[in-house]
Amino acid sequence: MATSSTKQKVASQIERLNCATNMFRTGIRRFATTARRAAESAAQMEGPNQYGIGVSKVQGVVKGLTGAIGNTPLIRLNHISEATGCEVLGKAEFMNPGGSIKDRAALYVVKDAEERGLLQPGGTVVEGTAGNTGIGLAHVCRSKGYKLVIYMPNTQSQGKIDLLRLLGAEVYPVPAVAFDNSENYNHQAKRHADKLENAVWTNQFDNIANRKAHIETTGPEIWYQTKGKVDAFTCATGTAGTLAGVTRYLKTASEGRVKCFLADPPGSVLHSYISSGGKLIERTGSSITEGIGQGRITDNLKPDLDLLDGSLYVSDERSIEMVYRCLDEEGLYLGASSCLNVAAAKEVAEKLGKGHTVVTVLCDGAYRYADRLFSKKWLTEKKLLGAIPKHLERYIALP
């Protein structure tokens, strides 16, 4: 039989076990309560940002700079939408790492050269560009370890030349001459690449990898961001990669329903070519917009030219007015080319009538052009001061 001492020991052990069990249960309850409260607190903090959290879950972590190119927001232009009775949306391409839509083309022409075995590690990329494509290439080449050589018209600002050099590019400003002149900056770029080993001339105007970038990225993004409810797309064109690629994708995805329009500045022949049914006139005049307008049909545009539903001519006066309107009404600090696109989107919306969704491209910001666009002297020289509405003249901050 168990002694009294043994019974006391067993009772003591049982009491300790019960105490430990109760402590464990209390700990579990406290942990569960703490976890629940933490979850509730997190949910309360996350509540106002469900859209951002959803985007973050999809995006995850990208691999290097090139992974951050594309997937830009589609911004509703509130004042213009309300004025037209349409949803007028701008693709925020100024949010790309290099600051413009040209990051997309830059990545794709380099990838194309790699895939075709034309560019090996440590190689050199050569391009003729007046601006944003060069900046996009500079970022892409630095991230991939390639050298970059840029030929550009000597009419470009010193600021652009300095920026390209700051980004590691070797820059050659050359006289601005027509494309059919052998000394055109594009032809000089090709000759430079031909002289080097392990080098490629990316040929942005006629390299259809440029167009492919927008068939595979920009077009699908617009389609899915609008849930397929886009009715029209418009933008200006230089190389035509954006216009052609987005048009091709949207026409295919919508089975031809989406209407697509070229927007054209002064000095370009494309509006007259399209509106006349194919008569290419001599290029005359010029525009304050940079990187858009064309004197020929590029290889990027040729396959999709017949898909366009028409074209719009946008004067410099309308473009510069929209620069100031977008800043004042939308809070968007955009370059003249972007604002030409916005003016065209507004016109398309007015033509289609209320209830439609019109998309355009906000290709870059005004940061690289501020010394001109907001200068009273420059506006006066270009005879554009009168195009600025009186109540917006307060934004003319430079002499």
Question: Would you say 213 and 245 are in contact if contact means Cβ atoms under 8 Å apart?
Answer: yes
DSSP letter (8 states) at residue 392 = G
Q: For residue 99, give the nearest of 156, 143, 139, 158 by alpha carbon.
A: 139
* Strand ranges across the sheet with 232-235: 74-76, 87-92, 357-362, 232-235, 259-264, 310-313
Tokens coding 296: 């020929």
Tokens coding 338: 């972007």
Task: Please report where in the chains the tokens 């770029």 appear, as a residue.
Answer: 189
Length of the chain, in residues: 399
Calpha distance 362→376 (Å, rounded): 24
Q: For residue 254, give the nearest of 213, 216, 220 by alpha carbon.
A: 220
Question: Would you say 334 and 342 are in contact if contact means Cβ atoms under 8 Å apart?
Answer: yes
The catalytically annotated residue of 9, 63, 91, 102 is 102
Tokens coding 355: 């209830």
Mapped onto helix, strand or coil, the DSSP state of residue 153 is strand
Calpha distance 234→360 (Å, rounded): 5
Query: Does 195 qualify as catalytic in the annotation?
Result: no
C-alpha distances in angstroms, 186 versus 130, 192, 196? 10, 10, 16
Helices (H), 47-184: 50-59, 78-84, 102-115, 132-144, 158-166
Mapped onto helix, strand or coil, the DSSP state of residue 283 is coil
Active site residues: 102
